[in-house]
Structure 1
């Protein structure tokens, strides 16, 4: 992938702002549907609509085919993502929008830990300290011992863990298939994985519910597109801090639309997690620049 141009930081920030708004739209539409549909059914319909948007990328990928190894990786990732999506839909229908958003920020921390356990990546002291700060942020959000931990809280923590491992498989697949194929195949495998769970608890959806889930799929597709454009336009050190605004918008949405009071502990905990992620991202960028910067006396061409 071509390194993003440092001359387009504003474009990167704007694309990431758009991505954050789109993902808050995903949260809001699912929160609006609430518990009217079982979590597995709602998730299945969302991914089924998503497949419609991704069909132009999916059909050529299936026609070209994949090696047995890639098929296995797609299948395992689809299974992990299926579990993650069901858990997320369950939590989103029962917890305040800002709380689900804040706990979801743990995904990159899970990716960091998983990379060390699965890929053998070294955990430098800075990463360990950042992980500790992020865990502290999660404890501030959940406040165990000070309030009851609901099943929905555990569900969202489980979703964050499963999403993290799914992203690690995506990292492995990124070197074996195109980005569009990876995204399209994820939607296909997750839709297939969700189908039997949805069938077990199927409730006939209304036209209004179908329209909201189609909107959810559109928001999700648009969010991933905007996020990809942000990564192309600017380095992570520029775009990563912008993701904190997603928590602010989620809190505003929850308060204005669903009457959810702004929880200062959720905002503080989410801020700690984002600070930890931003620090890790910044330090990795600094070290990468130091590794490729030639010595002062090196020959210049």
Structure 2
């Protein structure tokens, strides 16, 4: 569990850096073009790392179909998430994204044969209550932008569950290599519709996005090798207070009491999920198939 937590810290830092880069490019460079460049940078770096390691077998896979499905869905989720970053406050985007654990728990239970324990359910409920406290549901929350982010969350849940399945047989570098390989031509085709050459500053942020995307997914894949998908994604709740501080520091977004209370509830849920042992009698509850 400690190793998984450390890998998740790396993922949280990477996702925060990526969010900053996306916000800086929002409205300046087409989202499809940013996703294309992210894949180009990622493919170059990962191919170089694999080649230098001498383990060329990591370029091969026996599960191309699952890689394809995972990355088509993940691309759709990334597109929605990138759009949301430019349309909503950072903390709200991340809060809405944190419906992912609910979908991931259900998908992992149905397709990965994971147990949905009472402890996990309670931890996820605490996190979801934290999200409700932060976004304060009302007439203004269910907007077009919010629905885009919620759709991205469902796509990410499918991608997370697919990553868990792939991590059982594939090296994290192989997963990342095929992520870039599959998503690159998709991003290229759509970006050609509205192509523009980036400026020097925009190239900097594109590079930040490309590198942080790699480290985020590498850390997530490593975390999923040491813990169940539902545990990893529940720990991902810590990303909300992290990105809230980014919003305060860089974009003058308010740090509201509701945000701090919600973040505390999420933290309690994470601590419960990480440190409270399961009992030996009936602590397991599966959803029906």
Q: TM-score, normalised by structure 2?
A: 0.78
Equivalence map 1:238-249=2 (5 Å):
246-249=239-242
Quote the residue 2:193 is aligned against.
200
* 1:138 partner SS: helix
- CA radius of gyration, larger in: 1
Q: Which of residues 46, 50, 60 in structure 1 aligns to 2:42?
A: 50
Report how far residue 165 of structure 1 moved: 0.7
Quote the residue 2:66 is aligned against.
73
CA deviation string 1:145-195 (max 9, x = no partner): 253433222222222211111111112212332222112111221223322
1:87 and 2:106 correspond: no
Question: Would you say the 8 A contact 1:58–1:185 is kept in 2?
Answer: no
Q: TM-score, normalised by structure 1?
A: 0.75
CA distance in 1 between counterparts of 2:47 and 2:177 reads 8
Equivalence map 1:139-218=2 (5 Å):
139-218=132-211
CA distance in 1 between counterparts of 2:95 and 2:126 reads 14
Q: Which of residues 30, 45, 49 in structure 2 aligns to 1:38?
A: 30
CA distance in 2 between counterparts of 1:273 and 1:234 reads 19
Question: Would you say the 8 A contact 2:112–2:165 is kept in 1?
Answer: no
In structure 2, do the counterparts of structure 1 residues 158 and 46 end up closer, same or farther at CA, with 3 Å as the change threshold? Answer: same
In structure 2, do the counterparts of structure 1 residues 230 and 66 end up closer, same or farther at CA, with 3 Å as the change threshold? Answer: closer
Aligned length: 277
Report how far residue 114 of structure 1 moved: 1.0
Question: Would you say the 8 A contact 2:130–2:261 is kept in 1?
Answer: yes
- CA RMSD between the two structures: 3.6
Could you tell me which runs of 5 or more consecutive residues in structure 2 were left unpaired when the two chains were aligned: 282-289
Could you tell me which runs of 5 or more consecutive residues in structure 1 were left unpaired when the two chains were aligned: 292-301
Report how far residue 133 of structure 1 moved: 3.4
Question: Would you say the 8 A contact 2:168–2:225 is kept in 1?
Answer: no
In structure 2, do the counterparts of structure 1 residues 181 and 252 end up closer, same or farther at CA, with 3 Å as the change threshold? Answer: same
In structure 2, do the counterparts of structure 1 residues 224 and 142 end up closer, same or farther at CA, with 3 Å as the change threshold? Answer: same
* 1:145 partner SS: coil
Question: Would you say the 8 A contact 1:12–1:229 is kept in 2?
Answer: yes
In structure 2, do the counterparts of structure 1 residues 150 and 141 end up closer, same or farther at CA, with 3 Å as the change threshold? Answer: farther
CA distance in 2 between counterparts of 1:250 and 1:287 reads 31
* 2:168 partner SS: coil
In structure 2, do the counterparts of structure 1 residues 85 and 231 end up closer, same or farther at CA, with 3 Å as the change threshold? Answer: closer
CA distance in 2 between counterparts of 1:210 and 1:120 reads 43
Report how far residue 43 of structure 1 moved: 1.8
Question: Would you say the 8 A contact 2:33–2:187 is kept in 1?
Answer: yes
